[in-house]
Chain A
């Protein structure tokens, strides 16, 4: 069985991203970039499935400029077998990424697609669902547990009231939540080995995906700053302020 893992290059999650000076976009110059945390979890899960003997090959794919190869190398160092780089200079929106992934899916015919539930940059939480829709395949989003049975994947999902378990026929699209696993670190020998693993390059233009400027970014601003408040010295003072100053308790 083959598992396809689409991944995304994003800002490191510890970095607080700010608007640029002209408030037209975010300022990512000099910001440390990394594999999106949810994608790391998807890579880890795919590798664990392979290690358990339930998959033969883990293929990672990303869509973006030349720098995205760094994140593909990271995935290869973690244990992915090979990588596909769909090259484009333009940042794409989830609908377009899903269309690109449809082409990659058709070329690779994986039994399972494992991907993050959202990028921590755009916070869209759309691509996996869109890919499943376009392929007419079942989806299991926000997975905190993934179990493969013959021809079926059973997924425990994180929902607002607790957990829900679904069964889906393969091939299926599964998006990962934080609780699914604890991603490993790449060892130095594996980082060296990853340099020899293959990265296939595809040009976005050659994939015949029609892209349109559907939703434009008009402005990016900082949210209203909260005023730093006061420190209170005692529980009595706190209760008094909440009752008489903020008037939020009785």
Chain B
């Protein structure tokens, strides 16, 4: 049997999350095919260059310009006979699409896999990462969403997969339709794949103060993140949120500024290689996980830090 990986993209580039998912798939030791639903042939070409992939099943049509879960799940069902593993990353796209497909095939999905021990045994965090569960599947076919920060990335350029154009049936969903997107504009690296992340919390006090992080982020080529408190207070956009209910990051360096370190935030960043905490409260729980802690007023520390980088 073979493994099928769902490709994520923005109709121009393949997402880094897909490269990690392919890497995770390779540890299952079976042939790997990709499935792409897109409005752009470019993405199909790029997907075919990913290391270790045999075939790219390509569904190209205008209707896939915006991914509607109902359509995607139907495409996966069409080809499901040939596969016993179905993987996607646990991005919002993967989380939206995979369970819908899994239910159509009567499969209990396993979410947020951080380790593939063998073809039946997997590890995943539960309770906001406070515990790690080892689960064993009794199913012949399995659906896994992959916590991408737990896996390396497959090379995006060393592959030469065969492209198979799939016949399109009319899957244009009649029951739901895309209306519009409001994407956050940013020149910074993408949060989940950035090498360095600097995040602000409630201690930033207002949205304007987030600019104090921008200068440092520019010098370090870092992504900017935020705690739930900062997002809820309107200091930063929702898609900046790092934590149990936001994004999981595991950069080389994570700088937490004015963040207390609640369980829900730690769930999204405690696998970072080096953690720095800047906080005026020396009892803040964030100092329990920080490699380097600086107790001080962020309004003094941040400008000084920027000037010294």
Which A positions have Cβ atoms within 8 angstroms of B?
11, 13-14, 16-19, 26, 38, 93-96, 98, 117-118, 120-134, 137-142, 144, 154, 157-169, 172, 177-179, 212-223, 226-232, 234-236, 238-239, 241-242, 246, 248-249
Nearest residue in B to A159 (C-beta to C-beta)? B92
Decide if B207 is an interface residue (CB 8 Å cutoff).
Answer: no
Across-interface contacts of A177 in B (CB, < 8 A): 238, 245
Measured CB to CB, the closest approach of chain A to B189, in angstroms, equals 13
Which one of A133, A163, A222 contacts B100 once the chains associate, using CB atoms below 8 Å?
A133
Measured CB to CB, the closest approach of chain A to B39, in angstroms, equals 15
Q: What is the number of contacts between chain A and chain B, taking CB atoms within 8 Å? A: 267
Across-interface contacts of B175 in A (CB, < 8 A): 137-138, 168-169, 172
Which B positions have Cβ atoms within 8 angstroms of A?
10, 66, 68-70, 73, 90-93, 95-104, 106-112, 121, 124-139, 173-184, 192, 196, 220, 228, 231-232, 237-239, 244-245, 247, 252-253, 263-264, 270, 273-276, 282, 287-295, 301, 304-305, 308-309
- Are A223's CB and B274's CB within 8 A? no
- Are A218's CB and B134's CB within 8 A? yes
Given A16-B263, A248-B274, 17 additional A-B pairs, CB 8 A: A11-B127, A14-B263, A95-B109, A125-B111, A128-B99, A129-B95, A144-B238, A161-B10, A165-B178, A214-B107, A219-B133, A223-B130, A228-B288, A235-B305, A239-B305, A242-B274, A246-B253
Across-interface contacts of A248 in B (CB, < 8 A): 196, 252-253, 273-274
Across-interface contacts of A219 in B (CB, < 8 A): 133-134
A95 to B109, CA, bound (A): 8
- Are B289's CB and A154's CB within 8 A? no
- Are A167's CB and B179's CB within 8 A? yes
Which one of B126, B127, B138, B174 contacts A215 once the chains associate, using CB atoms below 8 Å?
B138
A130 to B100, CA, bound (A): 5
The 10 closest A-B CB pairs, nearest first, are: A130-B103, A129-B99, A229-B291, A138-B176, A133-B103, A126-B99, A168-B176, A165-B179, A162-B183, A248-B253
Known: A123-B244, A126-B111, A141-B69. A246 touches B177 (CB 8 A): no
- Are B239's CB and A158's CB within 8 A? yes
- Are B131's CB and A214's CB within 8 A? no
Which one of A134, A159, A172 contacts B176 once the chains associate, using CB atoms below 8 Å?
A172
Across-interface contacts of B112 in A (CB, < 8 A): 123
Nearest residue in B to A37 (C-beta to C-beta)? B245
Nearest residue in B to A214 (C-beta to C-beta)? B108
Measured CB to CB, the closest approach of chain B to A164, in angstroms, equals 5
Known: A13-B264, A120-B244, A124-B111. A95 touches B131 (CB 8 A): no
Nearest residue in A to B300 (C-beta to C-beta)? A235
Across-interface contacts of B97 in A (CB, < 8 A): 129
Known: A98-B103, A235-B294. A160 touches B132 (CB 8 A): no
- Are B276's CB and A238's CB within 8 A? yes
- Are B138's CB and A214's CB within 8 A? yes
A-B contact list, 26 entries, CB within 8 Å: A13-B128, A18-B131, A94-B109, A95-B106, A123-B126, A128-B99, A133-B103, A138-B70, A154-B179, A160-B91, A160-B92, A160-B239, A162-B184, A167-B179, A169-B174, A169-B176, A178-B245, A214-B137, A214-B138, A218-B136, A226-B275, A228-B288, A238-B292, A239-B305, A241-B292, A246-B274
